[in-house]
């Protein structure tokens, strides 16, 4: 896909299957975000070369890049390389929106500060409950009747930035971490595109 110079760039970071990324790309194409919100998904970057989402992105005509975190000496070096890779898509006076979609790396405070206000994440729990990993099993173990997902701004503290969207699903008798994760994931594909649309609309109004 050709990058159009006047549009807000959206760069999506992934580590795995990329179903959220694909949902965002599909929404951007179906809803003509370029025309309606002046925005375009321009690149998908993975820290894992075998991330299934890379193939999905290419199938949608999106540029892809791989930055293997293991190839960098420390977290700061990796994040600086990542910031440089993202910055390639900045427009004059319009830095890219960075969307973390199953990106399994904790970003340094420096990266977060540099992208403050334009760095979004989706977390598979009803934040502020269950930050970190294994959220679905922890929700089951805690006896929760409901679980869900949260789209939030990324701040220096893990899974703690301003909440933009949430989805809620019931926890069913007999649920395993996997069955609950699948139910939650299906809702992520709705709330993440919606949160991004709202972010873009707010930018346009600002
Ligand atoms: C999602 O559940 C997301 O909330 C979590 O990792 C999963 C990624 O799934 N952070 P996918 O790669 O978007 O399919």
Domain membership flag for residue 1? no
Q: Is it the case that residue 205 has pLDDT exceeding 90? A: no
Atom of ligand 1 nearest to the CA of 184: 2
Tell whether 104 is covered by a domain.
yes
**What domain range includes position 53?**
8-205
* Ligand 1, atom 1, residue with closest C-alpha: 102
Q: What secondary structure letter does DSSP report for 70?
A: G
Q: pLDDT by residue (tens digit) across 2-49?
A: 566 689 999 999 999 999 999 999 999 999 999 999 999 999 999 999
Tell me if 47 is assigned to some domain.
yes
Give the pLDDT of residue 77.
Answer: 97
pLDDT for residue 103 is more than 80:
yes
Query: For the residues 176-183, what does the mean pLDDT come to?
Result: 98
φ/ψ region of 151 (left if φ > 0, alpha if ψ in -120 to 50, else beta) reads beta
- Domains contained in the chain, number: 1
Q: What is the 187 CA–ligand 1 centroid distance (Å)?
A: 11
Show Cβ contacts of residue 28 under 8 Å, excluding neighbours closer than 6 positions: 10, 34, 39, 40, 41, 193
Write down the mean pLDDT value for the chain.
96
Cα 193 to ligand 1 centroid, rounded to whole Å: 14
- Whole-structure pTM value: 0.96
21 is a domain residue: yes
Look at residue 2 and tell me if it is in a domain. Answer: no
The crossing angle, in degrees rounded to 10, of helices 177-205 and 19-30 is: 40
pLDDT at 2: 59
| Active-site residue, 123 included | yes
Residue nearest to atom 9 of ligand 1 (CA): 102
Q: Which atom of ligand 1 is nearest to the CA of 121?
A: 10
Q: Which of 6, 60, 123, 134 is catalytic?
A: 123
Q: What is the pLDDT of residues 77-93, one digit of tens each?
A: 999 999 999 999 999 99
What CATH number is given to the structural domain containing 63?
3.40.50.170
**3 is a domain residue:** no
Q: How confident is the model at residue 109 (pLDDT cuts 50, 70, 90)?
A: very high
């Amino acid at each position: 896909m050709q990058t159009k110079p006047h549009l807000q760039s959206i760069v999506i970071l992934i580590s795995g299957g990329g179903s959220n990324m694909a949902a965002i790309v599909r929404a951007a194409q179906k809803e003509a975000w370029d025309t309606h919100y002046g925005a375009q998904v321009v690149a998908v970057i993975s820290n894992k070369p075998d991330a299934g989402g890379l193939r999905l992105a290419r199938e949608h005509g999106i540029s892809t890049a791989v930055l293997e975190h293991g190839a960098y000496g420390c977290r700061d070096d990796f994040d600086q390389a990542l910031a440089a890779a993202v910055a390639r898509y900045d427009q004059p006076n319009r830095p890219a929106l960075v969307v973390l979609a199953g990106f399994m790396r904790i970003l340094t405070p420096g990266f977060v500060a540099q992208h403050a206000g334009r760095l979004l994440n989706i977390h598979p729990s009803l934040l502020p409950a269950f930050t970190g990993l294994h959220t679905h099993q922890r929700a089951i173990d805690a006896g929760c009747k409901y679980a869900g997902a949260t789209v939030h701004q990324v701040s220096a503290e893990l899974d703690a930035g301003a909440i933009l969207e949430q989805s809620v699903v019931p926890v069913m008798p007999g649920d395993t971490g996997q069955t609950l994760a699948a139910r939650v994931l299906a809702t992520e594909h709705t709330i993440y595109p919606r949160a991004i649309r709202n972010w873009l609309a707010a930018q346009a109004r600002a």
